[in-house]
Structure 1
Amino acid sequence: MFKFFKNIGPGTLVAAAFIGPGTVTVCTLTGVGFGYTLLWAMVLSIIATVILQEMAARIGIITRLGLADVIKAQIRHKYLKIPAIILVLSAVVIGNAAYEAGNLSGASLGMTGVFGAGFTPFYPLLIGAMAFMLLFIENYKVLERCMIGLVLVMSLSFILAAVLTKPDIGAVLRGAFIPGFSEGSILTVIGLVGTTVVPYNLFLHASLVGERWKSPDDLKAARKDTLVSVILGGLVSMAIIITAAGSGLTDVSNVMDMAKGLEPLYGRFAVYFIGTGLFAAGITSSVTAPLAAAYVANGCFGWNASLKDTRFRVVWMAVIGVGVLFASLGFNPIELILFAQVANGILLPVIALFLWWVVNKAGVLGRYKNTVLQNVISGVIILITILLGIRSIFKVFGW
């Protein structure tokens, strides 16, 4: 068991990143609205995430560069390179600053469920300080171990909450492996996939593998790490759907409403489990979003900076600072978030296509380029990301 946890690496931070308050909320609404019937969408999301993250990790290990650096190196035409860099910076750096308020607010909601509402105004500042300290340590191994611990806490919290509802195992298995659409479910399916297949995770993963592994011989370990971590993250998301479906509620506005609905049946344990899980989900995303923004800025501007570099620090500090400010004031930066959603809607299919292009270039990956089977599977996944990107843009503009 010790050896197993010792070998877990950057994939855990990827799982921590995509299970944020937004994912928890979408999964909660999915379970309340559709029961177990859309669990298959999470299975699809897990497969898509594993495929894309493996390609990003492979690029990072073989090239020893971050994804933003590879984009700059491979797109040689300046009229394509400059718009690509602007798009990446807008979607990841500015976008993550906008989303950080949601991460801190979600973690604060979890703390309110566990500790009460007496200190609610101070929770965003406290959680922001925690995220600051985790990043200021500037030791990748320490950060990785802390995040593994938080992900395990989050996993146990939501899985135990799901067990408390005593779900119908047959219905769960049918929902997970027999695809079907209920009336009005298509947008929810898109939401489930969209909260799991996250553009900034591709940049984060490609950079983090360089902190952990140094040789192509480590590809096997990286693939195992990606597979285990993403599946664990997907199981957590599925556990949230199962908990919501078993709650018997028909109307919730956030995940803590579900916890309160479960309280009469299962006591305060339900509130503690879900509150702790939401706190862990919020704080892990509050760490990974600024970290991803810093890595992207590092690559786009060609800093070649380490975790201890002042420029690297300034970026993640700025993202946390913006998040704390917006969360503390209760201000919803709606225009900034809408801009980030549009940028991410464009970025996801663009980056997916770019990944596909690069992993087929022998001049970049040599014998580690994609096989025919990998191309077929990733091609289907990329088609899905294109549809997701188009739909997210349409959703923002109300089309």
Structure 2
Amino acid sequence: MPKFVPIQSVKSVLFWSVISAAFIGPGTITTCAMSGATFGLDLLWTLTFAIIACTILQETVARITIASGYSLGEVIAMSYPTMKYLIGFAIVFGCAAYQAGNILGAVAGLQLIFTFDKVFMTLLVAFFASLTLALGKDKSIAKFMGIWVALMGLMFIFVATQATFSFSQVVKSVLIPFFPSNSALLIIGLVGTTIVPYNLFLGSGISKGQDIKEMRIGIRLAILIGGLISMAILVSGSIVKGEFSFVATVNSLNERIGVWAGGCFAVGLFAAGFTSSITAPLAATITMRSIVYTGHKNWAKYSSWTWVLVMVVGIIFGVLGTQPIPIILFAQALNGLLLPLVSIWVFLIINNQKIIPHPYQNSKQANFTLLIVIGIVIFLGLNNLQKAILTHLPFAVHPTFILLFIGILSLSAVIILWALGGKK
């Protein structure tokens, strides 16, 4: 009945906030706050694009699941069986590599407030994250994450409102692209930290049984809220002067605004790290369940060990107090290759009449928009891949040549996809 639609919409937004919780982690806070501290509001427009692109991709993969009854991982496993182990390994490996950063990010937030032993706080964060995963089901965890996203958002928005920018300045920065000198890496980072490959599997995996109308409302609003939180973090970072660090940020906020502002930033950092320390193992589990263990009689048993493995890796590096830099570089290379591949598969699947009924397929206009997003995703993914590879080469390659080559590859891929199914 119509009178219940608003309530259902709120529940849908709360449910889909797991996607926001997944992409707003310590890495996102670092990238956004550093962007604000370095360039002020000049890179806000990048997050506008990231919100739109993330929404398009997440809505598409959820529609695939609702229309076909299969998750994205299951469809890929059936359509491209030789690739399923590579995808499963890449997702789990990436989640495990970044899990230490998630846990340490939550601990960093706590350390800005409390003086407890770092190892104790690391184990405490890991314990409660593990407890949430062990006791909750996918959908209940998703709703639980929605609460944390709301808390995180309030903390950062309170701080951002204290910035001295006018409303017109903010609107201009949100809508009009601007490329400051030496900003390319942060632009790529802002988009890359919002659109991550495991989120596509996570969103698809939890969308089974959803109503498509409520799914669209939930995804659009949840990602918009997550994007606004990222923008608030960037604006908060613009208040900071000098070299960026979490401690310097809190000290600057305490001096310029008040102790409450630094406290809000610390709580927000903890919330971001804690939610990501839950969503990363959850995404790894859902991916393995849908890709590798599909049809296996003991899939529940084996897939549950996936999140345990990811959590243990995070705990080990967290307790050691070190970042697994070589592993993270390798994970970046894998994800740099994986995100473009998954995006291409998403396009091919949503236009496959044997899998997706006609009413759920993309229109010509929707395909055109999706291909623009995919082209940029391919460019960003290949760029991340080349950074991870070329940094270890004994010779230098001119950056302009690299970007031109990557641009040609990205454009070629888009043209081929358009010829295959986009111009129907």
Contact 2:15–2:139 (Cα < 8 Å) also in 1: no
* Equivalent residue letter for 1:202: L
Structure 1: segments with no counterpart, 5+ residues: 76-80
TM-score normalised to the size of structure 2? 0.87
Match runs of 1:331-346 below 5 Å = 331-346=322-337
| Partner residue, 1:301 | 292
Offset of residue 8 of structure 1: 2.5
Contact 1:87–1:343 (Cα < 8 Å) also in 2: no
CA distance in 2: counterparts of 1:273 and 1:308, whole angstroms: 41
Identity over the aligned pairs, expressed in percent? 35
Contact 1:92–1:293 (Cα < 8 Å) also in 2: yes
Match runs of 1:1-399 below 5 Å = 3-75=8-80, 81-82=81-82, 84-114=83-113, 116-210=114-208, 213=209, 218-247=211-240, 249-253=241-245, 255-304=246-295, 309-367=300-358, 368-397=360-389, 398=391
Check 1:226–1:306 CA distance in 2 against 1; reply closer, same or farther (3 A cut).
Answer: farther
CA distance in 2: counterparts of 1:305 and 1:274, whole angstroms: 45
SS in structure 2 of the partner of residue 312 of structure 1: helix
Check 1:382–1:363 CA distance in 2 against 1; reply closer, same or farther (3 A cut).
Answer: same
* Equivalent residue letter for 1:136: A
Offset of residue 311 of structure 1: 1.6
Offset of residue 102 of structure 1: 0.2
Contact 2:16–2:222 (Cα < 8 Å) also in 1: yes
Map Cα deviations across residues 206-229 of structure 1 (whole Å, 9 max, x no partner). 10112xx25xxx111111111000
Offset of residue 67 of structure 1: 1.6
Contact 2:74–2:294 (Cα < 8 Å) also in 1: no
Between 1 and 2, higher relative CO (CA 8 Å, sep ≥ 6) is seen in 1
* Equivalent residue letter for 1:188: L
Offset of residue 300 of structure 1: 2.5
Map Cα deviations across residues 280-323 of structure 1 (whole Å, 9 max, x no partner). 11111111110111111112223458999322221101111110
Aligned length: 385
CA distance in 2: counterparts of 1:86 and 1:256, whole angstroms: 41
Offset of residue 38 of structure 1: 0.6
Map Cα deviations across residues 170-221 of structure 1 (whole Å, 9 max, x no partner). 22111111101010111111110000011000011110112xx25xxx1111
Offset of residue 246 of structure 1: 2.5
Check 1:10–1:60 CA distance in 2 against 1; reply closer, same or farther (3 A cut).
Answer: farther
Map Cα deviations across residues 11-42 of structure 1 (whole Å, 9 max, x no partner). 21111100010000000110011100110000
Contact 2:51–2:224 (Cα < 8 Å) also in 1: yes
CA distance in 2: counterparts of 1:43 and 1:178, whole angstroms: 10
Offset of residue 141 of structure 1: 4.2
TM-score normalised to the size of structure 1? 0.92
Contact 1:24–1:240 (Cα < 8 Å) also in 2: yes
CA distance in 2: counterparts of 1:23 and 1:238, whole angstroms: 11
Instruction: Give the stretch that moved more between structures: 379-388 or 165-174.
Output: 165-174
Structure 2: segments with no counterpart, 5+ residues: 1-5, 392-396, 398-424
Q: Please, what is the CA RMSD of the aligned residues?
A: 1.8
CA distance in 1: counterparts of 2:293 and 2:304, whole angstroms: 15
Contact 1:104–1:327 (Cα < 8 Å) also in 2: yes
Contact 2:289–2:300 (Cα < 8 Å) also in 1: no
Contact 2:199–2:283 (Cα < 8 Å) also in 1: yes
Instruction: Give the stretch that moved more between structures: 356-365 or 306-315.
Output: 306-315
